[in-house]
Chains A and B, each alone.
Chain A
Amino acid sequence: MYKLLLCWRYLRTRWIALASVISVTLGVATMIVVNAVMAGFSNEMQTRIHGILSDLVFESHSLSGFEDPVWHMEEIQRAAGDQIAGMTPTVAVPAMLSFQVRGQWVTRQVMFIGIDPATHAQVSDFGQYLQHPANRQQLSFDLREGGYDTTDSQSPTDTPTRPALEHAGWPHRRMRVERERLWKERQAAQAEAGPAQSVDQQVDAVLAATSPPAASPTDGDDAATTPEAPRQNPFQQARPEQGRVMDLAKEQFTGIVPGIGLASFRSRDGTDQFLTLPGDDVKITFPTAGTPPKAVSDTFTIVDFYESKMSEYDSNFVFVPIDALQRMRGMIDPQTGIPSVNSIQIKLKPEADLNEVRDRLRKVFPADLYAIATWRDKQGPLLSAVDMEMAVLNILLFLIIAVAGFGILAIFFMIVVEKTRDIGILKALGATASGIAGIFLGYGLFLGLVGAGAGLALGLGITWNINQIRQAVEWCTGARVFDPSIYYFFQIPTIVNPITIGWIIVGAVAIAIASSVLPAVRAARLHAVEALRHE
């Protein structure tokens, strides 16, 4: 009982000991905040990755894929149908995307992915990532007559961040065609007329003539005046397609949905600037499915943008109808008409065990021919990199608390020296050596609990109010702390894991106790008579 009483009195009379505990408090608070924020980010990332990749991906090893997706899907259904919620085939090849921006060609390396518009949205969150509300309901590769969202549908704001999308779709397409036609006319007229205006002046003149009027929607119909139809070829009926010039203002090429990062960038004020819009035509060059593969290219029309918020995907993926891609690549067997695909995306029911289903399928489909992986397997390196970051950060922050331990050690030594005489008295009255040690170990425990408790309160307080704090800091310093043009979300995400917090507290208290061991042992070993003589 004397130990408890003395601990308590020492705590109340020696406030300076609490100074040594401040490091423990700050260390614990920092660890809590950092773990919460990193868990929040990691969770957001995992959610997004999982939203993009389906639960299981069923692939073959070669670029030309495997034949007869329907047969494969039936086999998969037979092997694991009770766990499967949806399947869709895809074809994916590396490709090059080229489009013109103000007369210059921009080329990007992309992953060209053929998808089945009817079933693709079933296996992932694909549908949510599109910019046109009707496409979000059901994707169509046909160009839409305006109506694209001018804000980000996943985190909408009151003011439009994408004003350029207001006229996207057919209105934009018609305007562009008209612009080009006028440009050609001017060029021709210029050649006859005389001294050339500068290119900029000519461009500005054409733009001024064809820009949509300020506040009115879909005026596009007026902007486009179809040229007078040329005189008809009497044999037109026999060969309707031959020799016909495509009317770009009314027709589109095969529709594609590129990732939004390929065609836009976010400016500092938060709006998105677009290099190309739905309605524009682009060229894509990709390998055929022959051996060896040959490069073919074709023209496509952008019909929507895909935005998953992960730059890896938004700057790389271009989606196209699977049957068009199969046809262009020669993936359809000319005799049987059976197409090939690269992969089948499988979505499992919520309660399914991903690894278990994967293993089941692996038994049916041999590993030398097929590669079957869960979404975690595919993104393993990325997720484990994040885990490693968290582990390293935790170690570093724990060192801060360890440093606090040395403060406790030093202060306790001083207290033991100061209390030498009192220790002698206690020994003279019959206190055991272990009892004396217990006073100081208990004192260390008290300080550890007080410090960790304060750190817990501070850490949770910061975590739960982190966005208000961020706003306050931004208001004070005038600088952006969390730039939405770099990160994908506007609010800092946090997740508080009670087990993590439990471990942090245990660790901090353990360090406090460990730091008091040496002084406690020293106190216990004092010789009673010499201690009593101590001034």
Chain B
Amino acid sequence: MLETRQIRKRYRSGSSTLEVLRGVDFQLDPGGFVAVVGQSGSGKSTLLHMMGLLDAPDGGEVWLDGSRIDNLPPRERDRLRNRAIGMVFQAYHLLPELTALENVLTPLLIRHGIWDWFSHKQTARREAEALLDRFGLADRMHHRPRQLSGGEMQRVAIARALITHPRVLLADEPTGNLDEESGAGIITALTELNREKGLSIVLVTHDADIARQARGIVRLTAGKVETIPQDATGSAA
């Protein structure tokens, strides 16, 4: 349901050019859970940014649910990011002035203007509270990010990504800043979401163990992607 075709991206600095992605073909089936692995600087995050419409490719196309999305006008792209695509980052990226609950509500706050917020407020709050409860953060709802641990913050970030019922969740090294235990908890949460809710997930990681918990792995090398065949514990992407 999420597809990239021949994605190219190059970075210029001064007179030299660095081609990070040289024609990447990637596919995610509905309900799939694919890990993207590769060395540092191989362009994994860049590929994820293309998929999440945070950046525009220099060549190639991005398709979501059978429609091309990389060439949409800015307003449409903003809309997709708000409704169809959920993102989780290594650095959590929570807004420091807002409480955990308000952070989870942020995409909805962006979606609704002042006037129609009041008609959606009740349902939105209930959903946000339910999500936080599910991640075990019921008593942290009104805390600011600076009062939360790394793991808690990442869970808030995941809740935030989920509140919009996205078509796909893109996770960029979500456990990078966490210790093993918290990291494992996050990955467990993601696998659960994929298994029980059928949420399609793309997970970027440099950790092979984590990658193995996905149902498919692709490796990014020299700007191109190759599918790694799974061993018997997983299933093919």
A residues whose Cβ falls under 8 Å from a Cβ of B = 1-2, 4-6, 9-10, 13, 421-422, 424-433, 435, 527-529, 532
Contact A430 B83 (CB under 8 A): yes
Q: Which 9 A-B pairs have the closest CB atoms?
A: A430-B82, A2-B109, A9-B97, A1-B117, A430-B81, A425-B93, A1-B109, A528-B54, A432-B78
Q: Are A428 and B54 in contact (CB under 8 A)?
A: yes
In the complex, the answer to whether A430 meets B54 with C-beta atoms within 8 Å is no
Q: How far is the CA of A399 from the CA of B54 in the complex (A)?
A: 43
Q: Point out the residues of chain B lying under 8 angstroms from A9, CB to CB.
A: 97-98
B107 touches A429 (CB 8 A): yes
Which B166-181 residues sit within 8 Å CB-CB of chain A? none
A6 to B109, CA, bound (A): 10
| Residue pair A429, B102 in contact (C-beta under 8 Å) | no
Residues in B with CB closer than 8 Å to A528 are 54-55
Q: Is B110 an interface residue (CB 8 A)?
A: yes
Q: Does B89 contact A (CB under 8 A)?
A: yes
Q: Bin chain B's interface residue count.
A: 20 to 34
| 18 A/B residue pairs, CB under 8 Å, sorted by A | A1-B112, A1-B114, A2-B106, A6-B95, A6-B97, A424-B93, A426-B110, A427-B54, A429-B110, A430-B78, A430-B81, A430-B83, A431-B82, A527-B55, A528-B54, A528-B55, A529-B55, A532-B54
Q: Are B49 and A429 in contact (CB under 8 A)?
A: no
Least Cβ–Cβ distance between B98 and chain A, in angstroms: 7
- Evaluate contact between B49 and A430: CB separation under 8 angstroms: no
Q: Are B55 and A429 in contact (CB under 8 A)?
A: no
A532 partner, pick from B78, B79, B93, B117, beta carbons under 8 A: B93
CB-contact partner of A435 in B81, B93, B110, under 8 A: B110
Contact partner, A428, options B79, B81, B83, B111, Cβ 8 Å: B81
User: Which residues in window 32-86 of B have CB below 8 A to A?
Assistant: 49, 52, 54-55, 74-75, 78-83
B74 and A422: CB pair below 8 A?
A: no
The dominant DSSP class at the A interface is helix
Q: How far is the CA of A2 from the CA of B160 in the complex (A)?
A: 14
Which residues of B are found within 8 Å of A421, using beta-carbon distances?
A: 93
A431 — which chain B residues lie within 8 A by C-beta?
78, 82, 110
A13–B97 alpha-carbon span in the complex (Å): 8
Main secondary structure of the interface of B (DSSP, over half): helix
Docked-complex contact B81 and A5, CB < 8 angstroms: no
Question: Does B87 touch A at the CB level, under 8 Å?
Answer: yes
Chain A residues in 8 Å Cβ range of B102: 5
| B153 → chain A closest CB, angstroms | 13
* CB-defined contacts of B14 to chain A, threshold 8 Å: none
Interface residues in B85-123 by Cβ distance below 8 A to A read 87, 89, 91, 93-98, 102, 106-107, 109-114, 117
Q: In the complex, which residue of chain B has the Cβ closest to the Cβ of A421?
A: B93
Docked-complex contact A430 and B79, CB < 8 angstroms: yes
Known contacts A428-B87, A430-B83, A5 near B109 by CB under 8 Å: yes
Cβ–Cβ < 8 Å partners of A13 in chain B: 97
- Output the least CB separation between A404 and chain B (Å): 25
* Contact of A4 with B114 in the complex, beta carbons under 8 Å: yes
B86 to chain A, nearest CB (A): 9
A1 touches B74 (CB 8 A): no
| Contact A425 B95, CB 8 Å, known A1-B113, A2-B110, A4-B114 | yes
**Residues of chain B lying within 8 A (CB to CB) of residue A422:** 95-96
Q: Residues of A contacting B81 with CB < 8 Å?
A: 427-430
Q: In the complex, A514→B93 CA distance in Å?
A: 31
Q: Which residues of A contact B107 (CB under 8 A)?
A: 429-430
B19 to chain A, nearest CB (A): 17
Minimum CB distance partner of A1 in chain B: B117
Which residue of chain A is the closest to B55 with respect to CB atoms? A529
Residue contact A5 to B78, C-beta cutoff 8 Å: no
Contact A428 B52 (CB under 8 A): yes
Separation of A6 and B105 alpha carbons in the complex (Å): 13
Determine how close the nearest CB of chain B comes to the CB of A214; give it in whole angstroms. 82
Closest beta carbon of chain A to B10's beta carbon, Å: 14
> Which residue of B is nearest A10, CB measured?
B97
A5 to B114, CA, bound (A): 10
Contact B74 A428 (CB under 8 A): no
Residues of B near A426 (CB, < 8 A) are 95, 106, 110
Most buried by A among B52, B78, B98: B78
Known: A2-B110, A5-B102, A528-B54. A429 touches B97 (CB 8 A): no
Q: Is B110 touching A5 in the complex (CB atoms < 8 A)?
A: no
Write the nearest CB–CB distance from B163 to chain A, whole angstroms. 10
Contact partner of A430 among B89, B95, B111, CB < 8 A? B111
Query: Which B residues lie within 8 Å of A4 (CB)?
Result: 114
In the bound complex, CA of A393 to CA of B81 (Å): 53
Residues of A within 8 Å of B89, CB to CB, are: 428, 532
The distance from the CB of B212 to the nearest CB of chain A, in whole angstroms, is: 28
What residues on A are CB-neighbors of B97 within 8 Å?
Answer: 6, 9-10, 13
B117: chain A residues within 8 A (beta carbon): 1
